[in-house]
Structures are given as C-alpha cells and as structure tokens.
Amino acid sequence: MPLEIPRPHLTFDVPLDDGARIRVRRHGNPDGVRLFLSHGNGYAINGYLPYWQHFLDRFDLIVFDFRNHGENEPATPANHTYGQLSRDLERVFQHVMGKLGVRRTAGIFHSMSGRTAMKHALEIGFRFDALVLFDPPNVPPPDHPAFAAMEAFEARLVAFTKSRRTHFATVEELASDFAKSRVGQAWVPGVHELMARSVLRKNPEGSGFVLTCDPANEGGIYAEALRMNLWPRAKDFAGPVKLVGADPELGGGSPTGRANWALGNENGYDYSFVPGTGHMLQIEKPDACAQLTLAFLKQCGLAAP
C-alpha cells in the first residue's frame, strides 16, 4: 500500500524577500512543542514521512520545502544559494511564530537544510531552542584528513546533476530509478514512490512530470559546499545542537558519515551515528533516528519524559 501524507491541519504560504514563496504545512498536535522539519538537496520533506510520523501524536509539526523544491513553485530568478536559503529560513521561522504564536521550538534538518540551519544560526541568529542536524555534508578545511574525500564527493554530485534526467512519463519511472540507485538501496518500503511523488510536479509545458528542483539549482548547491568554510565548533552556537551522522565505517558509504564523525568528535558536539546507514539515514532507519531525536529533545526539556 502506498505511503500517504496525512492531511495538514493548516497550509499557508510564506512570502520571501525576493517575491518567491514557501508553502508551510502544519501537522500533528497543535498544543505540543513545535518542530520545524526540512530536507536534503533535490529531495522534499514529504518523502521523509517514515521518520516524522513518529512525532505526530505529541508535537506541533511545521514541515516545509526550501525554495525550488517539493510543493513550492520554482522561483524566477532561482536565487538558489546558501545565503538566500538562510534568509528564507529566517522568514519562515518569523512568519510561523507570528501566525501561530511563540512557543518552545526545535529545528530538525537533514543535509542541505542542516547546513543551511548552521549558517542561519551562526550568521543570523540562533532562533530555535535546539537543533537536530542529520548528516550535514560540511566540507572540512583543506588540510583536514577528511577533505579530499568530501571534495571528490561534491564533485561527483555536481557531475551527476549535469546529466540528470528531468522529465518522466509517470511517477513510477522515477520511483524505479530511486530503487535501482545506490543511494536508494536501503530506503524503507514505500519511500521510493513517496519520494518520487514528492519531488515531481506536472509538466507545465507538456505531458508527464518534471523535477521541481532543476538539476542546475541542485548542482549549484553541491558546488557551493566547497567554498562555504563551514566547519564550526559546537560552542560557536548559542544553543544546543545534536549532530547525527551516517555510519562512518559503512563500506562503500557516503564520506559524509566520516566527515560528521570528525566534526562531532573534534569540535565538541553531542554526536551520534546510526549504524548501518548512509546519508539518507532518516528514511533508511527512521525508527532509530526518531529515538535519537526524542532522547535529545527530552534532554533539552522539549518533550515529556
């Protein structure tokens, strides 16, 4: 049976500073601690349902896709940079708090959105009461032992986007591609089709479907990672940060696991990794990821015992 996103309690658009808009959906318990959740580069937060469904009963969930992703209309011009994504996050946070009221809040972000949340917290302000960051693919300084592997990883991803297929006759075609891909091998059942539905939109110029996130935008984000100089210490943040990485010893896995092991242990983070997982750990072992998240939220006083 296909995985289905529950009907949101509320949906609204947040206007951004360049005229683009982000569609926010509110799920879960409106009386609970508030959780903001978003996704990795080229993906969409609806595809992470096996992870965030664990929080529906107890938490007020604010789920959203970053610009040019998921349920959003692609922006023209795209303005698809980490600086803009950080400003967008600030807009989303302030708009939600203004519309729904101020309350204790945690941000839960994966990959691209995790790196955005770090940049936002360091350069704009630590707005959340806590951050949970899943495998942000930060690139260490050039003299770090993990640099070469991360540099090669980002270069491979940039090359991939230059030849990435953008048009699909059916959602099932992309789901099949995900299932056959190296990154998709460990996804839990149903996620390949759910993620395909989440990242495609009807082709506005013909039949079938197209990727909401243009591969040129996706590739630009991968390329920018190499010049961001984002390798902060935990004490650089004005609040608690949990770093959860992919398995650093997984054979043939993403080098992000090893990079986050180094970041976490060398720079003083509350760090954990999920054994046997790659970069998409929230949809590979969602139960384990949810347990780590809940334990940290409890530690921060953001969840009932």
Could you tell me if residue 5 is inside a domain?
Answer: no
Over residues 71-89, the mean pLDDT reads 97
Could you tell me if residue 3 is inside a domain?
Answer: no
What pLDDT, on the 0 to 100 scale, is given for residue 110? 98
What pLDDT, on the 0 to 100 scale, is given for residue 96? 98
Residue 226 tokens, joined: 């190499």
Report the distance separating Cα 130 and Cα 43, nearest Å: 24
What pLDDT, on the 0 to 100 scale, is given for residue 146? 95
Confirm if 157 and 254 have CB atoms less than 8 A apart: no
pLDDT, tens digit, for every residue of 17-47? 999 999 999 999 999 999 999 999 999 999 9
Confirm if 274 and 288 have CB atoms less than 8 A apart: yes
> How many domains does the chain divide into?
1
Could you tell me if residue 244 is inside a domain?
Answer: yes
pLDDT, tens digit, for every residue of 219-249? 999 999 999 999 999 999 999 999 999 999 9
In this predicted structure, the answer to whether residue 206 has a pLDDT above a threshold of 90 is no
- When pLDDT is cut at 50, 70 and 90, the band that residue 252 belongs to is confident
- When pLDDT is cut at 50, 70 and 90, the band that residue 77 belongs to is very high
Could you tell me if residue 112 is inside a domain?
Answer: yes
- When pLDDT is cut at 50, 70 and 90, the band that residue 203 belongs to is very high
Over residues 294-300, the mean pLDDT reads 97
Could you tell me if residue 166 is inside a domain?
Answer: yes
Could you tell me if residue 258 is inside a domain?
Answer: yes
What pLDDT, on the 0 to 100 scale, is given for residue 1? 66
* Global model pTM greater than 0.85: yes
What pLDDT, on the 0 to 100 scale, is given for residue 304? 66
pLDDT, tens digit, for every residue of 146-164? 999 999 999 999 999 999 9
pLDDT, tens digit, for every residue of 263-286? 999 999 999 999 999 999 999 999
In this predicted structure, the answer to whether residue 79 has a pLDDT above a threshold of 90 is yes
On the 0-12 / 13-18 / 19+ scale of CB atoms within 10 A, 96 is: buried
Could you tell me if residue 1 is inside a domain?
Answer: no
Residue 46's domain spans which residues? Answer: 10-299
Could you tell me if residue 50 is inside a domain?
Answer: yes
- When pLDDT is cut at 50, 70 and 90, the band that residue 254 belongs to is confident
Over residues 103-110, the mean pLDDT reads 98
CATH number, domain with residue 285: 3.40.50.1820
In this predicted structure, the answer to whether residue 305 has a pLDDT above a threshold of 60 is no
